[in-house]
Amino acid sequence: MVPFIDLKRLVAKVRGDVLSDWTECLDNCEFVGGPRVGAVEKKLASVLGAPLVVSCANGTDALLVGLQALGVKRGMKVALPNLTFWATFEAVAQLGAIPVLVDIDPDDLQMSLEELRAAHDAHRFDAAMLVHLYGWTSGRLSEIRAFCKERGVALLEDGAQCFGVEVQGEPVLAKAEVATLSFYPAKVVGGAMDGGAITMQTKEREAFVRSICNHGRSEHYSYAHVGWNSRMGGVQAAFLLRVLAELPAILESRRAAAKRYRERLSGDKRIKVYGPPAGVTENGYLNVLTVESKKGQQIVDALKAAGVGAARTYPEPMDAQPPAKAAGAIVHGDLRHSRSICERVVNLPLFYGIREDECDTAVEALLAAAKA
Ligand SMILES: Cc1ncc(COP(=O)(O)O)c(C=O)c1O
């Protein structure tokens, strides 16, 4: 039996230190905010190469706040890839803005620059969200950033899945105007509960984000904005600090498994394993593959019957979700690449500490399922 994910392997590594940190948190009543939250923000900034980082309660709040920091308001149009986690769409809809759904590049599976350009010509959106999906990023990242700048489109980068990804050796979010992170436990850097963060380049934006994540406060009982209650506490920060200390080992383990899958499956013409474009170093967040002339669900069912945990990230694109219509989503083009990958996508087990023999068991089960 190979699980799709086993968080216990990372927990085992940090358990002793975390327990003693948590005892200190309890003794100091370090529940909301506190020194460990400040320390985790500093550590995140240094690892991500981003000048400023503000923590918050989860990655979805980070998207909401990030969009607000870029001036997104009710009625504005915001472009986003049709292939992403629902939270990306949700944040736009929650602000009363109008999602504009854009297709992906069929090679790297990230939002297509050509489609983004055409969508802007057609719909003149005010902002865009680029999601660094699956553990890598677009091969055209710098062109997408330049295009948005040139057209005056505010760009939010959803970095929930890209912790540790590098572009030409530099952390992917280092130069993002505003980017967001999720510390949902299954992420590359996962917390002990929900958590998130926003990165930015300027002190002005940092002050706005800090305020808006804390009820829009200017003073304890004075408010400059209508904000949210979206804050991190010491218990979560302590856990994240211990996980961040293991980041090199986490990335090494995940990248090795991703590489093993790619190598072991490269000989089978029916199987296509997706991965980072040239110049991009993946973080090993997810294994992403398709099997010729098979639906993804067929393969996942066969893998599960063989005792191998597998998933489908994601089985349906944004435009297929019932609330998308009610949110007034604009569909740009035929979205055929995002729809097609959703039908076919399969993910093999991939997590910190997965063993080579477990990867090999998953490979054997996949090869059998592809042949059947
Ligand atoms: C691409 C993407 N965006 C946003 C989120 C939302 O993050 P959270 O679950 O922390 O709210 C996630 C993950 O859950 C995600 O994968």
- Is there a single domain that holds both residue 153 and residue 272? no
CA dihedral 55, 61, 63, 69 (to 10 degrees): -70
> What local confidence, expressed as pLDDT, does residue 165 receive?
98
Number of domains forming the structure of the chain: 2
Domain-terminating residue out of 213, 245, 277: 245
Pocket test for ligand 1, best of 55, 172, 184 (most atoms within 8 A of CB): 184
Q: Does 328 map to a domain?
A: no
Ligand 1 shell residues, CB under 6 Å: 58-60, 84-85, 87-88, 131, 158, 160-161, 182, 184, 194, 196
- Same domain for 105 and 202, yes or no, is yes
- pLDDT tens, 204-235? 999 999 999 999 999 999 999 999 999 999 99
pLDDT of residue 269: 95
The answer to whether residues 42 and 149 belong to one domain is: yes
Residue 2 lies in a domain: no
Determine the atom of ligand 1 nearest the C-alpha atom of 196: 10
Residue/partner pairs of 263-266 with CB below 8 Å, 24 or more apart: 264/359, 264/360, 264/363, 265/289, 265/363, 265/366, 265/367
Q: Where are the beta strands (DSSP E) in 144-195?
A: 154-158, 166-167, 170-171, 178-182
- CA dihedral (63, 309, 134, 279) in degrees, to 10, reads 150
Per-residue pLDDT at 221: 97
Predicted structure pTM score: 0.98
What was the pLDDT predicted at 133?
98
CATH label of the domain that carries residue 298: 3.90.1150.10
- The Cα–Cα gap between 132 and 159 comes to 6
Looking at residue 225, its pLDDT comes to: 97
The predicted-structure confidence for 337-346, as pLDDT tens digits, reads as follows 999 999 999 9
Identify whether 106 is part of a domain: yes
Whether residues 20 and 159 share a domain: the answer is yes
d(CA 339, CA 315): 9
For residue 177, the model assigns a pLDDT of 98
Domain extent for 165: 8-245
Distance 357 CA to ligand 1 centre (A): 30
Domain for residue 222, yes or no?
yes
- Distance from residue 59's CA to the centre of ligand 1 (Å): 5
User: From the alpha carbon of 87, which atom of ligand 1 is closest?
Assistant: 4
Local confidence band at 53 (pLDDT 50, 70, 90 cut-offs): very high
pLDDT of residue 196: 99
Quick: pLDDT tens for 171-190: 999 999 999 999 999 999 99
Q: What's the rounded Cα separation, in Å, for the pair 296 and 314?
A: 10
**Could you report the per-residue pLDDT of 133-182, keeping only the tens digit for each?**
999 999 999 999 999 999 999 999 999 999 999 999 999 999 999 999 99
In a domain, 338, yes or no: no
Are residues 215 and 74 both part of a single domain? Answer: yes
Residue 322 domain flag: no
Is 339 domain-assigned?
Answer: no
Domain boundary among 195, 210, 245: 245
Q: What percentage of the chain exceeds 90 in pLDDT?
A: 100
> How do residues 273-309 score in pLDDT, each as one tens digit?
999 999 999 999 999 999 999 999 999 999 999 999 9
